[in-house]
Structure 1
Amino acid sequence: MTILDTTPASTRKPVGMSDEEWQARLELAACYRIFDHLGWVEMIFNHITLRVPGEDGHLLINPFGLMYSEVTASNLVKIDLEGNILSDSDWPINQAGLLIHSVIHANRPDAHCIMHTHSTAGTAVACLRSGLDPDNFYAAQLHDMVAYHDFEGITVDPDEKPRLVANLGDRDLMILRNHGLLALGPSISAAFADLWTLQRACEIQIAAQSSGQPLVPVSLEAALRSTEVARSFQMGDRSRAGRTLFDALRRRIDRVAPDYAV
């Protein structure tokens, strides 16, 4: 019989690791499990990256080869912006996925966390010539907040980096055409809240458009007001945006998959 180790996670911090890094690892590992719980997974592919607190240019990323349900605080891989592995790891990293994350982290100091998904609804919208339709409750909260980047093939060509950065600009959300969704933020919770909103907008858009019936348009005034109200909750502390939502989901993960904290 397997006995669950109930020792508080904070006491299992590896020797020599800072408390700040360990807490970042715990939160990022919980985020991977939340994505798994929500079905935002693409087998062993896609990534969520997070800056290591107090270590300039160092990131945490998932080990390439593990499912999101297998990611733990201790098996996350520490790398630099060039993809060099800085921590003991039995696993490599996915160089194809690293290109997008590394160039954005390098050029957006506010991008402490970056999330990239290939969800069915998100990728479907990314394949539509018109992109995100504004005519639903969630899309109306994202007026003029979503950037677009044209598909250039699997992201392994360094020449694509400046175009990625230029197309993203100062926005925190991007639809990678024919590819998927991307969100970034000053914290895991902020990036998650924005990605969740975009994902829901895509899901509802695909469901509504599949009916073949015309959609009720959202007025520009209503979209502007909706976006203003949604953003007003974050104006006081952008780094804590989405914290209540993320913490609620993390409590669920604590109940159903507590092994993320090892």
Structure 2
Amino acid sequence: MPAADRDRLIRAANIVADAGLSDAFGHLSIRVASEELEITPPLPLRSLTAATGLVALPLTGDELPDGAPREAWIHRAIASARPEAGAIVRAQPPAVAAMAASGLPLRPLHGHGAFLGDPVPVHDDSRLIRDAESAEAVARTLGSGSAIVLRGNGAVTVAETPEQAVALMWVLERSAEINLRAHSVGNAPIVLSAEEQAWWADRAAELLPRIYRYLEGARAA
């Protein structure tokens, strides 16, 4: 794997942590071949540096490689089901966890929320995803979407690049915050129309890089 790509993934992982989207747990992966990913090791994302070794993660085989996070099954299942997926982020965004615990659907109440689906799919099992069968269930529920909530266990975002996947995780958390605040007022929130959602979704590729640049700037400040 080129050093530039490794550094890119490590930087993305640090940004996830600095944005408050993970705590002690979380991992990112990048596709390096049609049947192989590189994944961050099971360490706090903020602690990763340019010297941190990534773990090669083949998409085949009955066991995970030594050094891989025990939930790397998620990355394998999604990457196998989605050949176009170039990067996957697994994080622990707190407002998303609260939204899932509420039992309310996470729906697009602002433009960027339309990047995530309506509603964002939920894997309705709080247990860790530590086997192929559970991971394949997550991939099926995700389908062709860009995000999935793991009730009681964080969330996953999927994109062509690590930068896009990180930006989507930030959007997911922001959308959950807006949903929680809107529901707290007591009135039924106004959900974007199908036409509005389509308009915003068409602009995701344009806007996600700008969100990532914002997160980079916030980290440097």
Q: Is the 8 A contact 1:35 1:68 kept in 2?
A: yes
Q: Which runs of 5+ in 2 are unaligned?
A: none
Structure 1 Cα separation of the partners of residues 16 and 92 of structure 2? 12
User: Is 1:217 aligned with 2:189?
Assistant: yes
Structure 2 Cα separation of the partners of residues 152 and 35 of structure 1? 22
Larger Rg: 1
2:3 corresponds in structure 1 to 22
- For residue 246 of structure 1, the aligned residue among 203, 212, 217 is 212
1:171 corresponds in structure 2 to 145
- For residue 63 of structure 1, the aligned residue among 41, 53, 68 is 41
SS in 2 for 1:146: coil
Structure 1 Cα separation of the partners of residues 214 and 103 of structure 2? 36
Change (3 A) 1:145 1:110: farther
SS in 1 for 2:165: helix
Q: Which runs of 5+ in 1 are unaligned?
A: 1-17, 86-91, 257-262
Bigger shift: residues 34-43 or 75-84: 75-84
- Please report how far the alpha carbon of residue 193 of structure 1 lies from its aligned counterpart in structure 2 after TM superposition: 2.7
Structure 2 Cα separation of the partners of residues 143 and 179 of structure 1? 19
Q: Is the 8 A contact 2:122 2:151 kept in 1?
A: yes
2:135 corresponds in structure 1 to 161
Identity rate of aligned residues, in percent? 23
1:12 corresponds in structure 2 to none
Q: Which amino acid aligns with 2:104?
A: S
Taking structure 1 as the reference length, the TM-score comes to 0.72
SS in 2 for 1:170: coil
- Please report how far the alpha carbon of residue 136 of structure 1 lies from its aligned counterpart in structure 2 after TM superposition: 5.0
Structure 2 Cα separation of the partners of residues 142 and 41 of structure 1? 19
Q: Is the 8 A contact 1:101 1:114 kept in 2?
A: yes
1:84 corresponds in structure 2 to 65
Change (3 A) 1:106 1:229: same
Q: Spell out the pairing of 1:19-168 with structure 2 (5 A cutoff).
A: 21-43=2-24, 45-52=25-32, 55-64=33-42, 66-81=43-58, 82=61, 83-84=64-65, 92-95=67-70, 97-136=71-110, 138-139=112-113, 142-144=116-118, 146-151=120-125, 153-168=127-142
Structure 1 Cα separation of the partners of residues 54 and 115 of structure 2? 35
How many residues align structurally?
A: 217
User: Is 1:228 aligned with 2:194?
Assistant: no
